[in-house]
Amino acid sequence: MRDRRRVAIDDVQQQGFPRYSKMALHGLRAHTPRAPDRGSLPRSLLMPLPLIALAIAAFGIGTTEFVIMGLLPDVARDLRVSIPAAGMLVSGYALGVTIGAPIVAMLTANLPRKRALMSLVGVFIVGNLLCAVAPDYAVLMGARVVTAFCHGAFFGIGSVVAAGLVAPNRRAQAIALMFTGLTLANVLGVPLGTALGQMAGWRATFWAVTLIGVLAAAALGAWLPAKIEMQRASFGHEFNVMKNPQVLLVLGISVFASASLFSVFTYITPILEDVTGLTPHHVTLVLLLFGLGLTVGSTLGGRLADWRLLPSLKTLLLSIACALAVFSFTMKLPAAAMATVFVWGILSFAVVPPVQMLIVERASAAPNLASTLNQGAFNLGNASGAWLGGAAIGAGWPLHWLPYVGIAMALGALVLAAWSYSLDRRAPACVTPS
């Protein structure tokens, strides 16, 4: 029976039908009793598992970044520091991402991609282990910074790897799948981690995140291909890419888009309580709804980016500005406010896959540093947006005016995206088509 199948396979391949030969080969071999050889399976069947492994790691990284916000009172009480001092653990992490990301990216630039990613997850595991056993505030702060070092580099390298694992017309969707782990961290990881910390102590949360890191390392080791195509680049070549104005424009888009989100979202709880009139319980439900919107947006953004990259990005940025304008009116109506927050969440995270895909394209000759710096740009936008929103409140703006800060930031990102698009139109041969 096997010999007859082998003859049939050879006949298909020898008759010159390239469109059908691979399908016939897979279909005829599917009924053979021997276990399939992983190396002979179609590429489409192999890709989901590596992307899921990246998403698991993204889930762990996202959880450890944000879960500390729900544990600040417990940490402050246990380590005998003030709430503002405990809040610096959030800032310390962001600083670690911004400073550490480009350094780690350069140090791992010429490592095999699988080894680089697993090394970063190893740093993540060690950092969270140190958080779990930290005897005092200083050690906990140092552990948070160490953990943050892997954040930007992982998402930067992971985006390049994810895009390279699939066909060109599905690259943005692959990046979106990896970032789905980050959105699920906000929807599931942070609430569950906070609940665990409140029941069993904040250290239990970091032990749980450490276990997630171990699971991610096992998944990457088992599912990520041993050999991943990569472009080796010298330090000088990586930095030369940063002279490309298109790369700088994308980094600017990341800063403004992220600032648009966090100028309002940082203060979403007082907005919902003081302006909308929701109870803390209902605020939690709205935040869950927002997190679901982020997850939907990640998938939507990936599909739109694979369809038409820059036009989709411009449309999304304009839509964010419109959604925030609507929110400035609907925030006084509970049902309408909840619906608007959900749509805003979809749009806000739908821009992430297109922007990440854009930086990979613009820096295609040496994408590792640029992709990693893009994560730093997102974090810079986070901090800038929160500061701008706080400055507006400090200047006497009422809470229902905050969306206008976000609108200004979204329109700033739109201007940069339009500028990038115009450069594409002027010199299409010099820039990867979008």
DSSP string, 4-68: HHHHHHHHHHHTT-HHHHHHHHHHHHTTSSSPPPGGGS-HHHHSHHHHHHHHHHHHHHHHHHHTH
- Residue 73, domain CATH: 1.20.1250.20
pLDDT at residue 238, as a whole number: 65
**End of a domain among 178, 200, 230?**
230
**pLDDT at position 430:** 46
Q: What is the C-alpha to C-alpha distance for residues 222 and 216, in angstroms, rounded to an integer?
A: 10
Q: Give the rounded percent of residues in the chain with a pLDDT score beyond 90.
A: 40
Q: Residue 234's pLDDT is what? A: 57
Where a domain ends, among 199, 230, 261? 230
Q: Are residues 273 and 183 in the same domain?
A: no
102 & 140 share domain = yes
Read off the amino acid at residue 175.
Answer: I
Q: How many angstroms separate the CA atoms of 59 and 188, rounded? A: 9
| Same domain (yes/no): 221, 302 | no
The confidence score (pLDDT) of residue 18 equals 36
Range of the domain at 315: 232-434
The reply to whether 266 and 411 lie within a common domain is: yes
Contact of 178 with 55, CB cutoff 8 Å: yes
293, 337: one domain: yes
Residues 17 and 65 both lie in one domain: no
Q: Do both 210 and 271 map to the same domain?
A: no
Pair (24, 56) in one structural domain: no
CB-neighbour burial class of residue 179 (10 A; exposed 0-12, middle 13-18, buried 19+): buried
The total domain count for the chain is 3
Sign of the alpha-carbon torsion through 223, 226, 227, 231: positive
Give the residue ranges of the chain where pLDDT is below 50.
1-46, 429-434
> What are the Cα distances from residue 299, in Å, to 213, 304, 365?
24, 9, 27
Q: Specify the pLDDT at position 425.
A: 81
* Domain match, 290 and 430 both: yes
Query: Do 37 and 120 fall within a single domain?
Result: no
Q: Are residues 244 and 366 in the same domain?
A: yes
Residue 90: which residues within 8 A CB-CB, separation 6 or more? Answer: 68, 69
- The verdict on 257 and 284 lying in the same domain is yes
Q: How far apart are CA 218 and CA 121, in angstroms?
A: 10
Could you say which of 206, 230, 254 is where a domain stops? Answer: 230
CA-to-CA distance for 23 and 263, rounded, in angstroms? 51
Two structure tokens written together for 210: 């450490």
* Confidence at residue 277, expressed as pLDDT on a 0 to 100 scale: 92
